[in-house]
Chains A and B, each alone.
Chain A
Amino acid sequence: QKEVEQNSGPLSVPEGAIASLNCTYSDRGSQSFFWYRQYSGKSPELIMFIYSNGDKEDGRFTAQLNKASQYVSLLIRDSQPSDSATYLCAVYPARQLTFGSGTQLTVLP
Chain B
Amino acid sequence: DAGVTQSPTHLIKTRGQHVTLRCSPISGHKSVSWYQQVLGQGPQFIFQYYEKEERGRGNFPDRFSARQFPNYSSELNVNALLLGDSALYLCASSRADNEQFFGPGTRLTVL
Contact = CB atoms under 8 A, between A and B. Distances in A.
Interface string B38-79: 001111110010000001101000000000000000000000
B97 A99 contact: no
A96 B48 contact: yes
A88 interface: yes
A98 B35 CA distance: 10
Interface stretch (A13-21, A37-45, A54-62, A73-81): A37-45
Contacts of A100: 42
A104 to B, nearest CB: 10
A44 B56 contact: no
Main secondary structure of the interface of A (DSSP, over half): strand
Contacts of A32: 97-98
A95 B42 contact: no
B99 A34 contact: yes
A99 B40 contact: no
B101 A96 contact: no
A98 B44 CA distance: 7
A21 B40 CA distance: 17
B56 A46 contact: no
Contact of A92 (B41, B44, B97): B97
B99 A49 contact: yes
Given A32-B98, A96-B56, A42 B44 contact: no
19 contacts: A32-B98, A34-B99, A34-B100, A43-B104, A49-B98, A49-B99, A88-B43, A95-B97, A96-B45, A96-B58, A97-B35, A97-B92, A97-B100, A98-B45, A99-B42, A99-B43, A100-B42, A101-B42, A102-B41
Interface of A: 4, 32, 34, 36, 42-46, 49, 88, 90, 92, 94-102
Interface of B: 33, 35, 40-45, 48, 55-56, 58, 88, 90, 92, 97-105
